[in-house]
Structure 1
Amino acid sequence: MAAIAATAGRLLRLRAAGAEGQWCRLRGAGLQAASAAGDAAQRRHVAHFTFQPDPEPQEYGQTQKMNLFQAITSALDNSLAKDPTAVIFGEDVAFGGVFRCTVGLRDKYGKDRVFNTPLCEQGIVGFGIGIAVTGATAIAEIQFADYIFPAFDQIVNEAAKYRYRSGDLFNCGSLTIRAPWGCVGHGALYHSQSPEAFFAHCPGIKSKVIKFF
């Protein structure tokens, strides 16, 4: 890059002095040669890069050891604490959920923000879409990911297309659907499936999976 800058400076000086012939010659050959030399120097720099860790330890703030379920509970707790419009709802979430990920949240935030729903996945997601469209934060829980298929129409044909259908007047981007899978390990065909790939291929939906370290 330094070679390119130096050559560019020479060209400007020659141009200002009226040396048109030299300007044309350098423009055709000198600049290209300088560019090639700069690229080669940059390639050598990257090829010979040696990683050296920071001698000072990194500070990441205060941490706390917890299992996966506790981490999810903590994240939900933070969402409810920071966003007064956030609500959590689903089957059995009021008493803590079958995986105990909402334990204590109803007592802490009240029955209007953490509450049970009927056993109807289509209704759970449709209700969440309606809440999100108003601008509130909806956190819908599907008890097992296997149960999400009755809500497929609501997710794919309603939630994913809402912004497009309304010409960007409305959207339900504040809707989160939490659907655990792989937690039991022996739940047969209705409790062990991992259907996230269906939704990962649907435009308008962001499918996320927790990373295990």
Structure 2
Amino acid sequence: MLDIESTALILVGYQNDYFAQNGILRGVIEEADRVDRTLAHTMDLLEQYAFSRLTIISTPIILKPDYRALANSVGILDTIKQVGAFKEGSPGADTIPELKAYGDRIIYVSGKVGFNAFAGTNLDDVLRERKIKNLLVAGMVTSLCIDSTGRAGYERGYKVTILSDCTSARTPVEQDFFCNHVFPLYGEVANNTKLKAQMPMAGLMASALAA
């Protein structure tokens, strides 16, 4: 069982360039409907725990128009620069409307300019301040930002759980490989249903009780 009050859900890359129908990077994922399923499972999870004591944190990647943070980039980071994704002030860099609907229930941690949501941000400080011990990681892309963030969390002493149906890799084969062979090396893997069984609601937030 996971103690909900010492657990944080880390949402990685829930931005229009990945999840919108016209998102610049939507095509990075084979079988684009898998992106839609990832979002549907994530929103199901948020609906379940919206008024619980679960800490929910979003870590968007926002890049300056000159992409100076990616000056020596290769691979997908170079692709991001070439196609103009996640550019500060652009619609593609915006948080998806589905997340915005939760208002200040979600904490936004800024400063992410690469794969790892801990690098260049105060994410660790936010987690320590809230006495978080367990991390749930969801978002895009499994083999890059999700793996990098999960490993970084593990190295900082957190118990890490990757949410398999709330993440997408570039291909189904890649998704299966990371969930079956990589993530178990440093953490656990759970789907939406399994997580709900492992993490009972415990209690409602004071704001929900007062509503």
Same fold (TM over 0.5): no
- TM (norm. structure 2) is 0.39
Question: Between Structure 1 and Structure 2, whose CA radius of gyration is higher?
Answer: 1
In the superposition, the TM-score normalised over structure 1's length comes to: 0.39
Relative CO higher for 1 or 2, CA cutoff 8 Å, sep ≥ 6? 2
Structure with higher strand content: 2
